[in-house]
Amino acid sequence: MDQTKRPLLIPPEFGTYAEKHGIFDLYKRLMEQLLINKPSDPLVFLVELLKRDNNDVPQVIILGPPASGKKTIAKLCSNKLRTAHLTEDNMVAEAETDTKVKVQEMIKKRQVVPTEVWVKILTDRMKLADCIKKGWVMEGFPQTREQALALQTAGVYAKHTVILDAPDTVLIERAQGKRIDPKTGDIYHTTFDLPTNPEIQGRLEEVPGYKEEEMVQKLIEYHRHIDGVLDCYQKTVKTINADQPKADVFSQVYTYLCRNPRSNAPHTPRIVLLGPTGSGKGVQAALLANKYNIVNVSCGQLVKQSIADETDQGKASIPYVDKDMMVPDTIVQKIVSNRLSQLDCVSRGWVLHGYPRTREQGEMLAKEGFLPNRVFFLNVPNDSVIERLTLRSTDPITGDRYHSLYNPPRTQEVKDRLSKHTKDEESKVKARLSQYHAYVEELADLYIQGQQINADQDPHTVFECIESMIVNPLPKKFM
């Protein structure tokens, strides 16, 4: 081949390095902190930021009306995420002595604590090691739009904001049975959450400020300000129905906290579709390629094209294809690598199906630098696969495909000339299924971030499920 006509092959590391190390998000985070803090020595400040062990820590705000369960849910979240639990009371208690005395005196006199004082207390608290290294869950603050804007101006922002919502009548009724353990600060309820320990039951006390008249005033105050607060956090907020069992509320909150926020970083899709024969990998790959303008890479088609082009790998594949044998991994890997290294795949992204089929092939793919950022296992029961494949046939004149149950031919003439491919015989389909299931567990162990998809449904429903996991970040897994 003329060397000037050879396809341009680009090392895959060019496209994966920035994504692997989060370079775009790192740069964005550094610029944000630089503009917020305005340090006198920017270089030293940036170096200190880069030295931190972990910048991707939870930053959660939990808000809601009185008696909605903020304290309980915030404590559960901070324990689960292993973060600092910030409340107005413990932040004041840990503040500098002068500020602490001043604020406690104002609270005792029922005076409004100035927003700038709260911001000073909070920013000082967040400079401590536990907030920096582990993150924080803040309960019940901010309470006004002014406080929310002041926090954002000071560079304190939440990655997740949770609103616990319930009807006012439910909250007023719930407040009547609210009790506190003065020794631990834990909240209980005489009807819904009474402690089993008689000793704890004996020392429970009513929570001051939760009589019906006081609750009505607190709810009026809450509703007056909450819309302004939500306007400041509209991109990170999630409203959870708090009028349900505590375990259900926490489960929904935790599921939301496991979601990664969308990133503005450039994203090149590198998708691998795995599944048994007849699971619809080719259909889904075509839909993805058509909608997102990525390259549809079929391993089977690549081998056939390589043979047709009479490449070295194609010539080496002919004896195996003629005998209906598996082409050796080294030959297939070379064919696939050459295709994925071409400019269109590197610049636009790709969706690969039909490869890898074994863990060894997956490891070879990774060794070459081709690391998928999304892997989907299309799961279909064996009975459904057999029904799909053994009952399908092709019109040799038009090339149209038919299925005797779901898409039968419309005329007897077409029906009479239909033909079936030999590979769709039931015995051969079962052999391919056995081969897939022999290696699928190893592939699942290799691709631990792989997503399981129920592919035994309408193709467009399956596509919507796959698409949602491509455009949104994968959920976080907290240890």
The reported pLDDT for the residue numbered 1 is 46
Does the pTM exceed 0.85?
A: no
Band (73; pLDDT cuts 50, 70, 90): very high
CATH superfamily of 270-471: P-loop containing nucleotide triphosphate hydrolases (3.40.50.300)
For residue 448, the tally of other CB atoms under 10 A from its CB is 8
Let me know: does 272 contact 366? Beta carbons within 8 Å: no
| Domain positions in the chain | 56-258, 270-471
Provide the CATH topology of domain 56-258. Answer: Rossmann fold (3.40.50)
> Based on the number of CB atoms within 10 Å of its own CB, is 250 exposed (0-12), middle (13-18) or buried (19 or more)?
middle
- 270-471: same fold as 56-258? yes
Q: Find which of 91-95, 222-226, 259-263 is predicted with most confidence, using mean pLDDT.
A: 222-226
Band (333; pLDDT cuts 50, 70, 90): very high
Percent of the chain whose predicted confidence (pLDDT) is above 90: 43
Contacts of residue 114, Cβ cutoff 8 Å, sequence gap at least 6: none
Judged against a pLDDT cut of 70, whether residue 304 lies above it is answered with yes
Higher pLDDT, 20 or 80: 80
pLDDT in tens, 233-248: 988 899 999 999 889 9
Judged against a pLDDT cut of 90, whether residue 52 lies above it is answered with no
- The partner residues of 189 in beta bridges, in order of sequence, read 178, 193
Q: In the predicted model, what is the mean pLDDT of the chain?
A: 87
The reported pLDDT for the residue numbered 7 is 58
Q: Specify the range with the lowest mean pLDDT, choosing from 131-140, 221-230, 254-263.
A: 254-263
The reported pLDDT for the residue numbered 153 is 87
pLDDT in tens, 385-409: 998 888 888 888 888 888 888 888 8
Mean pLDDT across the stretch 206-228? 88
The reported pLDDT for the residue numbered 186 is 80
